[in-house]
Structure 1
Amino acid sequence: MQIPLDSNPSSSNLLILIDGHAIVHRAFRGISAQGNNLTVSTTGEDVTGVYGFLTILFRSLMEWKPSHCIVTFDTPKPTFRHLEFPEYKAQRAETPQELKPQFGRVREIMESFQVPVFSLDGYEADDLIGTISKQAEENGLSTVILTGDRDTFQLITNKTKVDLGSNSRDRKLYGEAELIDRYGGLTADQQTDFKALLGDNSDNIPGVPRVGEKRAIGLLSSYYNLEGIYKNLDEIHPPSVKASLAEHESRAFSNRELMTIMREVPIQVDFEKAKFDNFSISDVIESLTQLEFNSLIDRIPRPNSDTNNEENPIAISKAVIDDTNNYICVDTESKLQDLTIALNQATKIAFDTETTNINPMLAQLVGISLSVKSGEAWYVPVGHTEGTQLNINHVLTTLIPILNQKTTELCAHNANYDLMVLSNYGIHINTLSFDTMIAAHLLGHNSIGLKNLSQSILGIEMQPISELIGTGKKQILFSEVPIEVAFKYASADSDCTFRLWEHFEDKIQSSYANKIMHQIEMPLIPVILEMQTNGITLQTSDLEIMSKELEHELEILQSSIISFAGHEINVNSPSQLSEVLFNELELPKTKKTKTGYSTDANSLEFLKNTHPIIEQILNYRELSKLKSTYVDALPSMINPKTDRIHTSYNQTGSITGRMSSSDPNLQNIPVRTERGRKVRSAFIAPDSDTILFAADYSQIELRVLAHLSQDPGLLNAFHNGEDIHSSTASLMFDVALTDVTSEMRRIAKVLNFGVIYGLSAHGITQQTGFSREEGNNFIQTYFSKYPGIQNYLEEIKQFTREKQYVETLLGRRRYVPEINASNFNVRSAAERISINMPIQGTAADIMKLAMIRVYESLIKTTLQSKILMQVHDELVFEVPTNELEELKSIVVTEMPSAMELDVELKVETKQGQSWGAME
């Protein structure tokens, strides 16, 4: 929308005047109401209002292309209106705590734009707007006021208009004609009289009773203003309106005084300094990237001037990365010698590999890029299909000894991948000291890919890989990319990694993440590489038999579901199932989706007892997922070179610190069902002289909870070696330990683990079958028996409210700004996170420390035993039978010693020929 100010407006004399306070407030409320608050991932700072303000500002600047720009703000101090009328705005809720700092953030960003910001104690932003728009007219400028406040309608002239509304739906530009049309012929001069009669609920100003908008327009159309109305009061009908006007005459005139915008505030604007042509785009990019407003960088408005010769930000970014003068393609022996000299002189080297496959176990090395200084890089091609390049073995034997020098520090982005690729060639790097992807994750960044971070932190837009290798069926291997094209792309990878290293190193060192980075995450990388390289043997014949059995069971279940439905349906179609369940069988409706009512697992569990078809659908889905995800898929994942399954571990897979795995995802193989155990049984020892050995932390999260809460009952139960669920049941049901039944223990177990995940009566009801009232009673009884736990939960929630983050015992941090959200559901979810994170995160830290300790103990021995997998709280090893006792001794010594708590970290062990059949 852009409505001209006059018949032929010139943007060379147009001021956009912004009510910063109103726009920030409105943006914050609008986004927050949808539960979509934005936060800076590294600090947890809420920047919802800042983002909304900038979105509206950028849109308006692009539409109006003004020559000048000014922003105004209220101040916290009372104005002359508060002094004259103490009830003024008294009903307004206090500004949310998370919003208060955002006004300062907007000011900082406006400084980067060189946009003047005005505020003055004793006056509102509207008064400043009135004064500035008047001075603008006197200086030959037209003005567009950007606001959400209709009070500014009184400022409209032939040179001043009001852009009202923050979104495209309700936006409208008001000039003189639009105002007259909207208010039945009333002009800007009559707006204060009009508002005086109506009052303003938002400002807590009562109007004249019995005078609504239509009557007010009629009165002012006849008598022009308040003076005219009261001069001709005897003529006014009906009598009730006349009486009300007479009774509230002083209120009407007082209201007009309160609602009249001051136009003589003691400020003087230097409009030269308000010209929107005097800012550095790089400064603006820096201010936006600090708040992770990456999506706004492309939308930075251009100044309406030819005096600023900077290119647009993306062009600048590309210029930085496309400056290949300091990128060198090492395709001759002399260049390789130059590279070795540079590497020998460097103490810090960033490196990256280019390969043929995203699976490192199957990838072939195409090239290596290295950087020792920001803006400089080398690319050594060794596996391209065409072009001049050096022999791969010669390159590796030349470079690797230099990279492994004790005086050298190495850095990579996702080092796990690069080191796995090099290990395929028998190369082991021992000098890795930093991983920029892990650093970004620990500091709270959400998008931690190299290209994302380069854009958000460095302001550099890197070339997408798709521009080199294509997509879909036409995609080629990186080895097929011409070297003269590939070397620029590859060099940028190590160059940006080096720049990010410089950025993150000091931040990590001076932050809470330093201990986690250097005592856990970096020492863990060799352990992960070892597990990924070792892999595990898979017995495929058992899975083939199981696949046929599942196929038969699925056919039976499908027939049963169709029988209940009464006609043929696609059991795998949620929309068809929704139609059958809720329209044809008329079962209780679940949450609404775009295609009908939800048939997801949670919804169907809720309907479990309403119809036998539900049980059949749940069983069908469970078996279908097991078959497709594991039974049929696992054999295809066997590496042809090693004849083993090699999962990939991700250190940055969870914000709590837990690792995830993929290809296959070992974490999700069912453990409590018979079929899940059958799948696990397919993971076997390779021969009869070898055995699988597993060590599992017993109830580690509850032990962490006991330490954190210092609850005497929980501590005593662990100190006495009691079964914690039986102990809880004994307290809950007031029976002796020996009299605890299996059902009592089951309920106690639900409660114990429910604490960790944010206990609620609804959750208890779902898991136990109790009524909501019974669930509430059980929760109250539980906390009466374990008061230390309840105190801890309240303390941790309060800590999170104040700090807006929560942390593990070792300081791993998660920001939870949503805990102060006004939306109940958003706030409740944040409270559950604040409860769970310290417990689950500390347990994850303990497991990682244990892995490091066990691995470092193993490499000091001559044992052939291998660490194969980490799944939840369990480590799995492959052990020659004659080494079992020695390995067991190492494991049961190191795992309980990983962290000192006020309760013992108990480890349970078992062994067997397969993962699913251990004793």
Structure 2
Amino acid sequence: MSESEQPRLDGKTLLLVDGSSYVYRAYHALPDLRGPSGEPTGALHGIVNMLRRLRKDVDAQFSACVFDAKGKTFRNDLYPDYKANRPSMPDNLRSQIKLIHEAVHAMGWPMIMIEGIEADDVIGTLARRAAAKGMRVIISTGDKDLAQLVDQRITLVNTMTMEMLDQRAVEAKFGVPPELIIDYLTLVGDAVDNVPGVMKCGPKTAIKWLTQYGDLDRLIANAEEIKGIVGENLRQALDWLPLSRKLITIATDCNLMPQVETIEKSLLALPENRMVLIDFFRRHGFKILSSEMEIVGADVDELSLTAVDATIPLYDTVLTWASFDAWLKIIQTAAVTALDTETTSLDAMMAEIVGLSVAVEPGRAAYIPLGHRTGDAVQLPRDQVLARLKPWIEDAQYKKVGQNLKYDTHVLENYGIRLNGVSDDTMLQSYVLESHRTHDMTSLAFRHLGMKIIKYEEICGKGTNQICFDQISIEQATKYAAQDADISLRLHLALSPEIEKVPGLKYVYHNIELPTAYVLQRIERNGVFIDTELLAKQSEEIGIRLIYLEDQAYALAGKKFNLNSPKQISEIFFTQLKLPIIKKTASGAPSTDEEVLQKLAEDYPLPKVLLNYRGLAKLKSTYTDKLSKMVNANTGRVHTNYAQAVAITGRLVSNDPNLQNIPIRTAEGRRIREAFIANNSRSQIVSADYSQIELRIMAHISGDENLLCAFCNGEDIHRATASEIFGVTLQEVSSEQRRYAKVINFGLIYGMSAFGLASNLGIEREAAKQYIDRYFMRYPGVAKYMEETRRYAKAYGYVETVFGRRLWLPDINGGNSIRRQASERAAINAPMQGTAADLIKLSMIAVQSWIEEKGMEAKQIMQVHDELVLEVPDTELALVKKRLPELMCSVAKLKVPLVAELGSGVNWGEAH
């Protein structure tokens, strides 16, 4: 029976995936992921995730994943140069194609690949057949050519951008309806497929012509009317436009036998082959997916953590004391409970509790509303509920997990409740496993569970129209809040096994990140006193200085102008003053960014004035004006937030306000630190800073004998390096030679090239190259470390700190040479930065443990890169000054001694 004789399939859906399009896009879009044996798997990951997402989001009874077959097609016979410009498939992608096909089969997708017929033509033929039988057709693709197929029954979706293209959307995007897409593409041509169009005819011209004449045939008939060069170009193209149109037009009548007999028989969507997929995912490094599928078990109706997620969640709303007592008993007997708070603010120190949610197993959770202000807000009294929950929350024997529990700890402490028993934090688990990825719950749920969860914006709105959580209904709140606890628990179950199986990650997570979260919460809670009167005075002085710099700039420019306007600055620099153009912006205009100003400031006064102006204006707006306004009315202190899961290297990031970026190279920047003071005249600020920590770590990791010797003998490392490079004794090293050596020491561990060193030192490139060559001759262990590290990074996609933290480098084997080279430089430095981050975190943990163990009044109030800042009463000052450096230097034993330099004073500036 032919296709046309088969019964109609009205109401059914056919989902067609342009596999060839997505293979290339996934390869170029995703980092260079590697499987257990080092094989590339980036494109494989992209295709697997995309197909699983489509299967979840689109309810399709029939489906197919279509790929191009090797060899020529009818278009090559029509035009031998068709696709001649396309480079050959990269080896790292070619090696994944067979695996991709294997995965597609195992996931239950009918796969079509027909010799002599392009994937587009297979899709076009199937789409038209299905539409003729009354089916809805969804084509998943990123290829604009397929827009010509769109009609009332056929829609395109791009899963990478979430763009849906129906008839109206096609016209909105391209400026012409689907029936004119072929004519449109014929005119503009297709550089990717090497299909010629009309020279210099872009989208705007093509739209204008087709709107004016109706279609390509009528345009060709009236070609003589088109004036100017573009008209001449059109007339020159008349001979090849018919051929171009044939090449552009997708065939919709191909013979797909024997692969596709009928849609019903050949394209029925099949279930995943669970056992095959588990083995496949295990073999190729899909650790979390394989673990999740193993949990599902043989029965597909069992509780599932996979994208299919057959579980019907059991989310209770706790509105009565009987219900509360029942859930209290449940969490008291649970092995582990996921906990989450819903609040009125992202500012943890000011947030009020609106409700609490708990989960004890996947799909089983409850929400306790406490502060809703809606019509259905019949809820238990907040104070009484918190009083009854307090013993459970504060008892460490009850294990709790959650997402970013540092925030919840602050919120609960606002009510006099101390959260204890935190066994795991899913944000930190994700961070330790994949520091280069995002760690918000929405991303984690999709990435690790294949689940699309309710977003805050979906229930509370966005921007100026966003309402507070206490204004939404309790029914909506339950779905959102209970799901948060549920997903936290599921993520914990998925991520924990991955961490536990790798000793280094296990150490970093349990011994560094989890305890650091506790210490950071204490530091944030402690806050720091600010001398607001001193800041106001500094702000006034900077304001006067800015006025002077403005007048100076006007005088140098010969007229008044906006010192913050790149356009006006560019006009004065390059048109009026004829200064040299250092570089250009993406749009081709001369750049006036800070790098350009710094270069021009070496020879010209106006750029130097502008640099000073920008630096002071930033100080004023960011610190001297702003800090006083950020003092907490309840505590009288400024409380920063330390983002723990941001930097790939493990460094902490201070924000709201950022206390780590206060400049210390300018006098004005250093003076700002004078406004950070102790709480009274009977206390002091103490600062302890690791000395030359990254160079010491380099000596340890590289094992270079000369470096080790210099540090172990307590030598000035820059003087020692100068002695080695310039061939003089330590006593003969001049201050200039030491300065050169310092730049070389720090530059090389950041991957600085001869060009960069020459630019930094203001010397010839050849001279810089000679210095680098001499450095590596004198420190061969460093050269060996760098080479071995590059090889390791390329093989595994990451490097490690001394303690086992993995520092991922997604672009280390990528196709973009600039990003690849940057990753190679990062591979050298990341172990140093990462180990330094680990050391300062271990120090914070040790210091906090010591303070609490001794019951001291001293408190940690800031962490700034390799520096700890404490507020210490005079009665404890001598003890802290003795013990603090000892603690910092004993948290780890390296091949060279750690050194912590300490200072104290009435303010941070005096102590640093």
Aligned to 2:420: 430
Q: State the aligned residue count.
A: 753
2:344 to 356, 365, 372: 356
Could you give the per-residue CA deviations for residues 43-100 of structure 1, whole angstroms, max 9, x where no partner exists? 99652487489989999xx99x997746568799xxxxxxxxxxxx9x9978423652
Aligned-pair distance for 1:281?
9.5
For 1:266 and 1:481, locate their aligned partners in 2 and report how far apart those are by CA, in whole Å.
56
Correspondence 1:876-895 to 2 at 5 A: 876-895=869-888
Could you give the per-residue CA deviations for residues 527-585 of structure 1, whole angstroms, max 9, x where no partner exists? 11110111111001111111111111111212222333333321112222223223333
Equivalent residue of 1:433, what SS? strand
Could you give the per-residue CA deviations for residues 483-509 of structure 1, whole angstroms, max 9, x where no partner exists? 343233222211211121122122222
Aligned-pair distance for 1:689?
0.8
Flag the 1:461–1:128 CA change in 2: closer, same or farther, 3 A.
Answer: closer
Aligned-pair distance for 1:826?
2.2
Aligned-pair distance for 1:10?
9.4
For 1:320 and 1:399, locate their aligned partners in 2 and report how far apart those are by CA, in whole Å.
32
CA contact (8 A) 2:35 2:41 kept: no
Confirm or deny that 1:480 pairs with 2:475: no
CA RMSD of aligned residues (A): 4.6
Aligned-partner residue type, residue 894 of structure 2: L
Aligned to 2:111: 116
Flag the 1:478–1:714 CA change in 2: closer, same or farther, 3 A.
Answer: same
For 1:456 and 1:881, locate their aligned partners in 2 and report how far apart those are by CA, in whole Å.
52
Confirm or deny that 1:496 pairs with 2:487: yes
Confirm or deny that 1:97 pairs with 2:85: no
Confirm or deny that 1:347 pairs with 2:335: yes
Flag the 1:404–1:320 CA change in 2: closer, same or farther, 3 A.
Answer: farther
Equivalent residue of 1:371, what SS? strand
Aligned-partner residue type, residue 107 of structure 2: S
CA contact (8 A) 2:31 2:811 kept: no
For 2:34 and 2:664, locate their aligned partners in 1 and report how far apart those are by CA, in whole Å.
35
For 2:464 and 2:258, locate their aligned partners in 1 and report how far apart those are by CA, in whole Å.
66
Aligned to 1:153: none
CA contact (8 A) 1:575 1:595 kept: no
Aligned-partner residue type, residue 456 of structure 1: R
Aligned-partner residue type, residue 563 of structure 2: V
For 1:463 and 1:281, locate their aligned partners in 2 and report how far apart those are by CA, in whole Å.
26
Aligned to 1:579: 571
For 1:760 and 1:908, locate their aligned partners in 2 and report how far apart those are by CA, in whole Å.
31
For 2:876 and 2:704, locate their aligned partners in 1 and report how far apart those are by CA, in whole Å.
41
Flag the 1:16–1:691 CA change in 2: closer, same or farther, 3 A.
Answer: closer
Could you give the per-residue CA deviations for residues 593-649 of structure 1, whole angstroms, max 9, x where no partner exists? 338322221222232334211111111111111111111110011000000111111
CA contact (8 A) 1:869 1:875 kept: yes
CA contact (8 A) 1:587 1:610 kept: no
Equivalent residue of 2:642, what SS? strand
Flag the 1:605–1:619 CA change in 2: closer, same or farther, 3 A.
Answer: same
Flag the 1:911–1:58 CA change in 2: closer, same or farther, 3 A.
Answer: closer
Aligned-pair distance for 1:282?
13
CA contact (8 A) 2:527 2:640 kept: yes
CA contact (8 A) 2:44 2:96 kept: no
Confirm or deny that 1:535 pairs with 2:524: no
Aligned to 1:834: 827
Could you give the per-residue CA deviations for residues 834-876 of structure 1, whole angstroms, max 9, x where no partner exists? 1111111011111111111111111110221111111010001
Aligned-pair distance for 1:743?
1.8
1:332 to 320, 326, 342: 320
Confirm or deny that 1:126 pairs with 2:115: yes
Aligned to 1:409: 399
Aligned-pair distance for 1:471?
3.7
For 1:388 and 1:282, locate their aligned partners in 2 and report how far apart those are by CA, in whole Å.
48
2:652 to 659, 670, 683: 659
CA contact (8 A) 1:11 1:66 kept: no
Deviates more, 1:762-771 or 1:828-837: 762-771
Flag the 1:560–1:113 CA change in 2: closer, same or farther, 3 A.
Answer: farther
Correspondence 1:125-204 to 2 at 5 A: 126=115
Aligned to 1:682: 675
Aligned-partner residue type, residue 96 of structure 2: P
Deviates more, 1:515-524 or 1:271-280: 271-280
Equivalent residue of 2:812, what SS? helix
Flag the 1:11–1:605 CA change in 2: closer, same or farther, 3 A.
Answer: farther
CA contact (8 A) 1:689 1:881 kept: yes
Aligned-partner residue type, residue 111 of structure 2: P
Aligned-pair distance for 1:716?
0.7
CA contact (8 A) 1:24 1:53 kept: no
For 1:53 and 1:513, locate their aligned partners in 2 and report how far apart those are by CA, in whole Å.
26
For 1:281 and 1:564, locate their aligned partners in 2 and report how far apart those are by CA, in whole Å.
72
Aligned-partner residue type, residue 579 of structure 2: L
> Unaligned 5+ residue runs, structure 2?
72-83, 143-159, 161-169, 188-253, 287-300, 302-306
Flag the 1:56–1:809 CA change in 2: closer, same or farther, 3 A.
Answer: closer
CA contact (8 A) 1:17 1:71 kept: yes
Flag the 1:869–1:264 CA change in 2: closer, same or farther, 3 A.
Answer: closer
2:442 to 424, 428, 451: 451
For 1:655 and 1:785, locate their aligned partners in 2 and report how far apart those are by CA, in whole Å.
32
1:749 to 731, 737, 742: 742
Aligned-pair distance for 1:810?
1.5
Flag the 1:101–1:587 CA change in 2: closer, same or farther, 3 A.
Answer: same
Aligned-pair distance for 1:438?
1.0
Aligned to 1:775: 768
CA contact (8 A) 1:383 1:479 kept: yes
CA contact (8 A) 2:34 2:42 kept: no
1:631 to 624, 627, 630: 624
CA contact (8 A) 2:538 2:624 kept: yes
Could you give the per-residue CA deviations for residues 101-127 of structure 1, whole angstroms, max 9, x where no partner exists? 354135313532421367xxxxxx737
CA contact (8 A) 2:64 2:112 kept: no
CA contact (8 A) 1:41 1:815 kept: no
Aligned-partner residue type, residue 96 of structure 1: D
CA contact (8 A) 2:684 2:873 kept: yes
For 2:13 and 2:362, locate their aligned partners in 1 and report how far apart those are by CA, in whole Å.
43
For 1:616 and 1:647, locate their aligned partners in 2 and report how far apart those are by CA, in whole Å.
32
Aligned to 2:546: 554
For 2:706 and 2:749, locate their aligned partners in 1 and report how far apart those are by CA, in whole Å.
17
Aligned to 1:525: 517
> Unaligned 5+ residue runs, structure 1?
77-88, 119-124, 149-165, 183-262, 294-309, 311-315
Aligned to 1:80: none
Aligned-partner residue type, residue 742 of structure 1: S
Aligned-partner residue type, residue 277 of structure 1: L
TM-score, with length taken from structure 2: 0.74
Aligned to 1:86: none
Aligned-pair distance for 1:817?
4.1
For 1:618 and 1:912, locate their aligned partners in 2 and report how far apart those are by CA, in whole Å.
32
TM-score, with length taken from structure 1: 0.73
Aligned to 1:275: 266
Correspondence 1:359-374 to 2 at 5 A: 359-374=347-362
Equivalent residue of 2:601, what SS? coil
Could you give the per-residue CA deviations for residues 434-466 of structure 1, whole angstroms, max 9, x where no partner exists? 101111122216221112222333333333323
Flag the 1:868–1:268 CA change in 2: closer, same or farther, 3 A.
Answer: closer
Equivalent residue of 2:911, what SS? coil
Larger Cα Rg: Structure 1 or Structure 2?
1
Aligned to 2:596: 603
Could you give the per-residue CA deviations for residues 332-381 of structure 1, whole angstroms, max 9, x where no partner exists? 22121111111122121001111111111111122111111211222222
1:872 to 849, 857, 865: 865
For 2:9 and 2:753, locate their aligned partners in 1 and report how far apart those are by CA, in whole Å.
59
Flag the 1:93–1:383 CA change in 2: closer, same or farther, 3 A.
Answer: closer
For 2:464 and 2:23, locate their aligned partners in 1 and report how far apart those are by CA, in whole Å.
49
Equivalent residue of 2:415, what SS? coil
Aligned-pair distance for 1:752?
0.7
For 2:640 and 2:356, locate their aligned partners in 1 and report how far apart those are by CA, in whole Å.
25
For 1:114 and 1:52, locate their aligned partners in 2 and report how far apart those are by CA, in whole Å.
12
Correspondence 1:707-718 to 2 at 5 A: 707-718=700-711
